C-alpha cells in the first residue's frame, strides 16, 4: 500500500512552481519509489512531486513502449520539435479529459533518483508524458 496519495486539483501544491531538489540522496530514491507505488495504484503513466503533496521538482513515469521506469529530478526540456493534439487525462483531475497540444519530439535532461545525470530524446507518448509532468512542476 502506497504511503502517499494523489492530491486533487486545485489543492496545494498543484498551483505553485515546485522547488529544485538540491541534494539527491537516499530520501529522493525513497520518494521516487513511493511515487511509483502511487502511480501504479492509480493506473497512471506518470506522476509529479506536487501530485503527492511534495513541492519538489521530481517526476516518475513509465516508458510506454518497453515499460521501463524513469525518474527525473530537476528535469529540463532543452529541445522540442513538431506538434500534435491528443486527448489527455490526469490523476489530479479524475474523469476529466481534454485535447492538449504537445511537442512530438523533445530532448530532456536532469538527474535520476540516485543523482546520476541523464539526457535523452523522447518521442510520441513518452514525450507527451514528460511534458505533462513538467507542467505539474511549473504549477
Helix extents (H) in the chain: 26-41, 124-137
Q: Which of 34, 81, 84, 133 is catalytic?
A: 133
133 is catalytic: yes
Spatial neighbors of 65 by CB under 8 A, at least 6 apart, are: 125, 126
Asked if 53 contacts 31 with a C-beta cutoff of 8 angstroms, the reply is no
Instruction: Give the cell for residue 71.
Output: 525518474
Asked if 62 contacts 45 with a C-beta cutoff of 8 angstroms, the reply is yes
- Give the residue numbers marked as catalytic: 133
Amino acid at each position: 500500500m502506497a504511503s502517499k496519495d494523489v492530491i486533487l486539483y486545485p489543492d496545494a501544491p498543484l498551483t505553485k512552481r515546485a522547488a529544485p531538489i538540491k541534494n539527491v540522496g537516499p530520501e529522493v530514491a525513497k520518494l521516487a519509489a513511493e511515487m511509483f507505488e502511487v502511480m501504479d495504484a492509480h493506473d497512471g503513466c506518470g506522476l509529479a512531486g506536487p501530485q503527492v503533496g511534495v513541492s519538489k521538482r521530481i517526476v516518475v513515469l513509465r516508458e510506454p513502449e518497453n515499460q521501463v521506469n524513469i525518474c527525473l529530478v530537476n528535469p529540463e526540456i532543452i529541445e522540442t520539435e513538431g506538434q500534435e493534439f491528443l486527448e489527455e487525462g490526469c490523476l489530479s483531475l479524475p474523469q476529466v479529459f481534454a485535447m492538449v497540444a504537445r511537442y512530438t519530439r523533445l530532448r530532456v535532461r536532469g538527474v535520476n533518483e540516485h543523482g546520476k545525470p541523464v539526457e535523452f530524446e523522447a518521442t510520441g507518448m513518452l514525450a507527451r508524458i514528460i511534458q505533462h509532468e513538467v507542467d505539474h512542476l511549473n504549477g
